[in-house]
Chains A and B, each alone.
Chain A
Amino acid sequence: MTGRRTSLPVIAAAAGAVLLGGCAAAEEQSPLNPVGRSAEAIDVHWQTMLWTGTAVWVIVVAMMVATLVRRRRKDGTGESRGEGGGGRAILFVALAGAVIPAVIIVGITVQSVWVLQETDPGQEVDGRTITVTGHQYWWEVEYPEHGVVTANEIHIPTGERVRLELTSDDVVHSVWVPELSGKTDMVPGRATSMWLETDEPGTYWGQCAEYCGMQHALMRFIVVVHEPAEFEGWLAAQGQPGAEPAAVPSGEPDVSTQDTPAEQDSELVARGREVFMSSSCVYCHAISGTEAQGREGPDLTHLASRDTLAAGTLPNNPGNLAAWVVDPQAIKPGNEMPGTDLAGDELQALLAYLESLE
């Protein structure tokens, strides 16, 4: 009887600890899969606290259970309600309640402060600086030294401690890429910053962690970590102006009856470009190298090169892009982008143009 009573909480706690500690391998946005320098340091701290905490909980609950077991032996003794605790009882309360926990707390605080210094988001870094601005409900990402502006994706090279300068255009947001680092808020009117560093190339999910309005849930992004050479290539490509439709063969534009499929495509793209430039798209969106210079919405210069649409809401493919352009409010109600009432063929052309923006 005694054995079962004490072992139950132990088993429960151990099961819980194992669950917490080990079973996160499949999750794609979990601080338990650290690959960034900062996330790794925090994970060490977490493991310490997890096992210490589990041990403390098991011991306290076991002591509580022990008091209940002891009761059985004592049943039938006199009516005395005892004194308010003799010297030994008081010593026990002081030791178990304050002195021993104080030692544990001091240890954890020391480790915490050490990790705090390791991960200090404000510390000086050698690597490049990226500016990230929060908007309801998307992220503007700028590489000021390279004149590159993109959205909802942060590309960084391996082996470099990259600083993110954070600010917000509207309300408070918070940048969080669990596998790389803890989060840092974007506060309007204030400059905050954090850094990312990892040796593992790959794609890591991030998400807004401060409630920022109706579509807070669908304000995600990815961090793409490249090998340095690959990163330079990406940066160079992003520095190019938006792709122009391939020039229609000069001189004989009206001999179009003989068009190859490729020529038909480029014609469609050219028409799409016209649709874009003559519609309300340009008030909010910019495409580098064109007259479209709106800054309200994401820069579309290399839209087709991105993995996701609408801040991590949808995979970027032609079907999703069409659905998004036609009725963004159905997919992400409350976002700033209005739907469109373009005619079918205009829409086809517009989509062809957008998909050409590699």
Chain B
Amino acid sequence: MAQDMAISAAEFERIYDKPPGLRGFFTSVQHKAVGTRYMITAFAFFLIGGLEAMLMRTQLAKPGNDFLSAESYNELFTMHGTTMMFLFAIPFIEGLATYLLPLQIGARDMPFPRYNVFNYWCYLFGGLLLYGSFLVDLVPDAGWFAYVPLSGPEFADKSMDIWLFGLTLAEIAAVGAAIEIIVSVLKTRAPGMSLDKMPIFAWTMLSVAVLIIVAFVPLIVASLLLELDRSVGTAFFNQDAGGDPLLWQHLFWIFGHPEVYVMFLPGAAIMSHVIPIHARHRLVAYPFVVVAVIVTAIMSLGLWVHHMYVTGLPPLTLTFFTAASMSISLASGIQIFAWIATLWSGRPRFTVPMLFALGFIITFVAGGITGVMVASASFDSQVHDTYFVVAHFHYVIIGGLLFPVFAALYHWWPKFTGRMVNDMAGYASFALIFLGFHLTFFPMHLTGLWGLPRRVYTYDEYMGVETVNLLSTIGAFVMAVGVLIFSVALVYAWRCGRPAPRDPWGGDTLEWATESPASSSNWPTIPVVTDRHPLWAPDRDTTESHRTMRDAFDHRPTTVRVSPLTTVLSASPDGAMRLASPTVWPLLPAGGLIVIALGLLLEIYPIAFVGITVVAIGLLGWARKVEIDNGEASTAPVGGRYPIEARGSRAIGWWAAWCLVAVLTVGMATIVLSALFLQVNAGNWPQEPLGAPLLTAAGGLCAIVGLLACRQGSRHGMTQHAPAGSRRAHLVAAGIALVAGVVLLALLLTIWVQAGKDPTAHAYDSSVMLLLGTQALTVLFALGTTVAAMIARVMQVRDLRPALLLQNAAIAWVAVLIAWALSWVATDLLPVAVI
């Protein structure tokens, strides 16, 4: 067979090259291209967000300044927060992970390259939509936290709708990237890289990705609720109709607090790579650091109320969240002292990344200490929503994320571009950024303690805060100059820097074994890992099976893109994954989503229908392209022993499908808990079930039929026996599932019509509508996967591929069943069970 014949290294790389020119830009799906785009786009948004900060600081330089109007100032702080959180921090981290993870864990790409591109386009379009608001002079101005009722139908104009749509697109991208990261870290590590040998960055991104799924989905749901309140007139946040403005605050901070750790943990992970390499010593207490990262991720889900200490909650609640919020600092303490112990044991070099790391420790520790202070509910009642808090979280986020990001850019720039960044520019920018930062934000502690609230466009000269404000403004400009020097130095290095060797810093992790920048395939020869620090370890005996895998993938396969798969725990050879070839299809559904958003914003609904059509066509074309890729004869097992198509948890599709089930379940659970929250807080929640037991039971039955049909169908053709019967079995199974789905949709519609609810009249009615609607959405998801299986069945001669897709469809039908059960709980059980 062709793939067994050796080919030259250059010929091998050509398989992975991106197409040239503009076509390449729109069709490239490689992780390095996508990661680069993420990082460049995010950095551009960072500079814009920084510019907004400079305008605000200019306005606040003196009391009673009229440089900006109240309206412009409010728009700027809203967009500054929104930009830095949603358009810079998260996308940049995900871009860094997209670029770095495959290099660091020895993969040729991420598992779903097309999905990766789709997510990037969603993010870009979301960001452009948000900034399009400047063109039509409808800039959001309700704050990045968008508290209702200020952001609700009564008080906010169309700018809020732009904010909600733009944000949701960016969030869809973030959740998608999280799924990509989870499967990547679990399944695509180099042979031998068992969990205990995984780089901290991989551990952290795995934890963070799980956190994103659990925490970001509630924000998407909250945005949906608010948009429904605004456009349809539902009553989720309307206190006069069973809703509650506090529901928004809960949902927002259930997202918002984990978000802080979604930013900080990757920052810390960067430190766990930069400090050991530049101190020339292994990270001390690696197991402690891993445990600290995981504990932080879990605990961060239980702290959100500390953003709501002054909303009049009972003292017992405040006590619990005070204790919980303070305890999370212990996990950070472990990491800080692991780095200090590493510095102590090693021989630190004062390189630019190391300086940023030291700046990180000095700054982040201070931010952590003020964090313990504001975690105290009683003290927080004084400084909440003052400049003290502004100072605190900029210490944490700039100290904990931005300094590490700058360290990372300097540290990995040689790997990204093959060029070294100028040292003098690095030192100068560090000095300016570090000093400028502290000059800006240290005085803000005082500004707050002297009584200035946040989000004020002006202040009285008698308040005594003009000197500290002026210092902050001067510091901000010093910092801005530092950022500009840094940016120019990066661009200059990219174009004409000194060429970088493979491993300029003496690194320990796998990415330093690749070329700088890594070749198109990353790894013509797959690395075999025997140590946590592979490049620092003396050559040890590798395992026979690992060597066999390495040899099987050595410049192979020779016709298509394929990367190895390993087992989750021990990273033993397990199979192979087919990587996508260049394609433009993922652009279409993302483009369709933005068209839908525009149609709804303009209230020209035909445009929205065009958008829906574009999404549908895009998804169908995408599915067809996948089958074309997988239809080639070259899907035979690599080296005769590593199958590209495998069943159950050996397949990456299985993992992705379960991740999507998790996303949908978290979303449904959020809606159910929201309804429960409103029920408990509203005096007039209905006390009887929705009252369509037969229809509801029939709905559950349909979900079970769909699930069983797909599951039974997927059993045919998993082995080589009886291929003739499999085709019919697959078609029958998918057909039954399709019918079950359509019937279920009809049932949901009937239940809604029969119930005769008015979603604008009461929050219970709104909840019923939303629960039935989101149920319908999960049915559509299951139908989509079933159709994908049908397409595969029609296009493929082989039986295994459609069987695997039916297996994924069965998982999607599990989501339908879960959604059905949760919906029933909220519409029928809770009103009766909870008094």
Interface residues of A (CB under 8 A from B): 9, 16, 19-20, 24, 26-32, 39, 41-42, 45-46, 49-50, 53, 56-57, 60-61, 63-64, 66-68, 70-71, 74-75, 77, 81-85, 89-90, 92-94, 96-98, 101-102, 105, 108-109, 112-113, 115-122, 166, 170-172, 174, 176, 178, 181-185, 187-190, 192-193, 205, 207-218, 333-334
Contact = CB atoms under 8 A, between A and B. Distances in A.
B361 A171 contact: no
Nearest to A73: B347
Contacts of B542: none
Contacts of A49: 372-373, 376, 379
Given A20-B445, A84-B283, A85-B285, A105 B372 contact: yes
Contacts of B326: 105, 108-109
The 4 closest A-B pairs by CB, nearest first: A189-B239, A182-B381, A29-B451, A192-B312
Interface string B357-397: 01001100110011011001111111111100000000000
B280 A105 contact: no
Contacts of A20: 445-446, 449
12 contacts: A19-B446, A27-B451, A27-B464, A60-B340, A71-B343, A85-B282, A108-B376, A112-B378, A122-B312, A172-B147, A216-B453, A333-B70
A209 B384 CA distance: 8
A215 B463 CA distance: 18
Given A81-B281, A192-B311, A171 B464 contact: no
Nearest to B147: A172
A56 B345 CA distance: 22
Interface string B262-299: 00000000000000000011111110100000000000
Interface stretch (B14-22, B329-337, B692-700, B766-774): B329-337
A182 B382 contact: yes
B500 interface: no
Contact of A105 (B330, B340, B442): B330
Given A42-B381, A77-B347, A192-B312, 11 more contacts: A28-B463, A30-B450, A39-B382, A81-B281, A108-B326, A112-B376, A113-B322, A174-B385, A178-B382, A178-B451, A211-B74
Which of A81, A83, A184 has the most CB atoms of chain B within a 10 A radius of its CB? A81
A57 B378 contact: no
B315 to A, nearest CB: 5
Interface string B452-465: 11111111001111
B11 to A, nearest CB: 38
A56 B333 CA distance: 11
B312 A75 contact: no
Contacts of B345: 82, 85, 89
Interface string B140-158: 0101000101100011000
A19 B348 CA distance: 34
Contacts of A83: 282
Which of B240, B311, B454, B508 has the most CB atoms of chain A within a 10 A radius of its CB? B311
Interface in B699-739: none
A154 B507 CA distance: 65
B312 A184 contact: yes
B337 A92 contact: yes
A93 B291 CA distance: 13
Interface string B530-542: 0011001000000
Given A45-B378, A174-B385, A214 B71 contact: yes
B450 A27 contact: yes
Interface in B124-148: 141, 143, 147
A98 B334 contact: yes
Contacts of B239: 188-190
A27 B463 contact: yes
Given A67-B343, A97-B333, A189-B240, A171 B310 contact: no
B318 interface: yes
B341 interface: yes
Q: How large is the interface on B (under 10, 10 to 19, 20 to 34, 35 or more residues)?
A: 35 or more
A8 to B, nearest CB: 11
B319 interface: yes
Contacts of B454: 211
Contacts of B508: 81
A174 B310 contact: yes
Interface in B152-180: 154-155
Given A93-B334, A183-B310, A119 B381 contact: yes
Given A24-B450, A93-B337, A171-B155, A29 B463 contact: yes
Contacts of B71: 214, 333-334
Interface in B510-544: 532-533, 536
Nearest to A120: B315
B756 interface: no
A97 B329 CA distance: 9
A198 to B, nearest CB: 15
A212 B245 CA distance: 13
A191 to B, nearest CB: 8
Contact of B330 (A101, A174, A181, A212): A101
A236 B592 CA distance: 68
A68 to B, nearest CB: 6
B697 to A, nearest CB: 37
B372 A97 contact: no
Nearest to B463: A29
A209 B377 contact: no
A46 B379 contact: yes
A170 B155 contact: yes
B428 interface: no
A93 B141 CA distance: 45
A251 B327 CA distance: 82
A144 to B, nearest CB: 20
A63 B341 CA distance: 9
Interface in B781-828: none
Contact of A82 (B147, B310, B346): B346
A89 B333 CA distance: 14
Given A49-B379, A89-B341, A170-B155, A187 B311 contact: yes
Contacts of A81: 280-282, 346, 508, 533, 536
A196 to B, nearest CB: 13
B287 to A, nearest CB: 8
Nearest to A101: B333
Contacts of B446: 19-20
A192 B71 CA distance: 29
B640 interface: no
A176 B323 contact: no
Contacts of B284: 84-85, 89-90, 93
B344 interface: yes
B627 interface: no
A170 B385 contact: no
A94 B331 CA distance: 10
B318 A116 contact: yes
A113 to B, nearest CB: 5
Contact of A209 (B147, B365, B385, B532): B385
A333 to B, nearest CB: 6
Contacts of A84: 282-286, 532
B244 interface: yes
Contacts of A9: 362
Nearest to B342: A85
Contacts of B342: 85
A68 B337 contact: no
B69 interface: yes
B338 interface: yes
Nearest to B283: A84
Contact of A216 (B318, B455, B532): B455
Given A97-B337, A112-B377, A215-B70, A190 B150 contact: no
Contacts of B536: 81
Contacts of A207: 451, 453
Nearest to A49: B373
Contact of B347 (A74, A116, A117, A214): A74
A193 B154 CA distance: 25
A210 B385 contact: yes
